[in-house]
Amino acid sequence: MSASAPAAESTWVAAFVERLRELGWIEGRNIAIEYRWAEGQFERLAEFAAELVRQNVDIIVAEGTVAAIAAKQATATIPVVFPIAGDPVANKLVASLVRPGGNVTGLSIQAVDLAAKRLELFREIVPGLIRLAIMANPASPNVPPEISELRSSAATLGIEATIFEIRRADDIAPAFEAFKTSAQALYVAPDPLVLSSRAAINTLALGQRLPTMYALRDFVQAGGLVSYGPSVPANFRRAAEFVDRILRGAKPSDIPVEQPTKFDLVINLKTAKSLDLKIPDKLFALADEVIE
């Protein structure tokens, strides 16, 4: 169950299904997978969760904080595994990372903690960055704390950061029009809405010659400039291992929430060249992947 769209998460789902297969769970043979996609309409998640509970599924895999909250609100007994979520304690998904309690566990992506680091990297890539546009969906639970962190970090770095809120895909083009003449670069706060709209965001950004900073590799693969964050496919593979353990008798309350230990810096060299940006040698050396 996801707040995003199937096309936006195809590689993540493929990683999850592949790992399940490696563990002996083969779709159509000894396991059935029901997919639910809200496609950016968060209000549909409660309906999906209730439907899955009525079907008495064995496990709900809820991608993202919003979906995980909907699943937790729908059931206190069916195990819920989240492959990615923001702060699961602050969002009341679990009692603690080490001892989740209840029926929910999974993997955190530490989105807020990484905001300051992304901004520091962005300033190295975009010389003289002082005016930054931040595109964000305030309806996503992870976004307000990330915005708070960004404002604080921007002030420390001497960057004027302006927030442009979007709540649906139709808000994206007007947001670009709003910062057309004022922004030197664009930071996009991660959430299912922008993930589903990444192609449109990158097209508009390139049209305005705006360097872009993202949290996920998927955005850079789709034409964005740079991303810094955990590997989401790796999280989905690990989530499949959580599912395997639960199907074999483990309780979610006994499976600690895991946090990523490796973060990938991904740079799109083709996009950098189109923007006449020279990536510093130091960042090239640090990059985990350079897309050419």
Residue 113: per-residue pLDDT: 66
* Distance from C-alpha of 21 to C-alpha of 16, rounded to nearest angstrom: 9
Asked if 41 and 191 touch (Cβ cutoff 8 Å), the reply is no
Residue 41: per-residue pLDDT: 87
Residue 211: per-residue pLDDT: 98
CB atoms within 10 A of CB 262: 8
Residue 12: per-residue pLDDT: 93
Same domain as 237, residue 215: no
Asked if 39 and 169 touch (Cβ cutoff 8 Å), the reply is no
Same domain as 146, residue 96: no
Contacts of 142 (CB under 8 A, 6+ apart): 65, 86, 87, 91, 111, 112, 189, 190, 191
CA nearest neighbour of 8 among 238, 191, 272: 191
Q: How many domains does the chain have?
A: 2
183 assigned to some structural domain? yes
140 assigned to some structural domain? yes
Helix, strand, or coil (residue 286): helix
**Residue 21: half-sphere exposure toward Cβ, Cα within 13 Å:** 8
Same domain as 66, residue 133: no
191 assigned to some structural domain? yes
Asked if 135 and 188 touch (Cβ cutoff 8 Å), the reply is yes
Same domain as 102, residue 212: no
Tokens of 112: 């807020």
Q: What is the domain extent for residue 37?
A: 6-110+232-254
Contacts of 5 (CB under 8 A, 6+ apart): 37, 39, 40, 196
pTM of the model: 0.86
Same domain as 162, residue 149: yes
Residue 142: per-residue pLDDT: 84
CA nearest neighbour of 108 among 78, 76, 142: 142
Same domain as 104, residue 38: yes
1 assigned to some structural domain? no
Could you please report the per-residue DSSP string of 219-254?
Answer: HHHTT-SEEEE--HHHHHHHHHHHHHHHHTT--GGG
Helix/strand/coil (H/E/C) assignment for every residue in 33-99: CCCCECCCCCCHHHHHHHHHHHCCCCCEECECHHHHHHHHHHCCCCCEEECCCCCCCCCCCCCCCCC
- What is the domain-level CATH number for residue 87? 3.40.50.2300
Residue 17: per-residue pLDDT: 97
78 assigned to some structural domain? yes
Which residue stretches of the chain have pLDDT < 50?
none
What strand order describes the sheet that includes 212-214? 160-165, 131-136, 185-188, 212-214, 226-229, 264-268, 289-291
- In this structure, the chain runs to a length of 292
Same domain as 197, residue 139: yes
Same domain as 154, residue 42: no
CA angle 225, 231, 232 (to 5 degrees): 105
Residue 260: per-residue pLDDT: 85
Same domain as 282, residue 198: yes
259 assigned to some structural domain? no
Angle between the N-to-C axes of helices 232-247 and 10-22, in degrees from 0 to 180, rounded to the nearest 10: 40
Same domain as 247, residue 195: no
Same domain as 274, residue 173: yes
144 assigned to some structural domain? yes
Buried b (16+ CB within 10 A) or exposed e, 107-134: bbbebbebbbebbebbbebbeebeebbb
Same domain as 176, residue 99: no
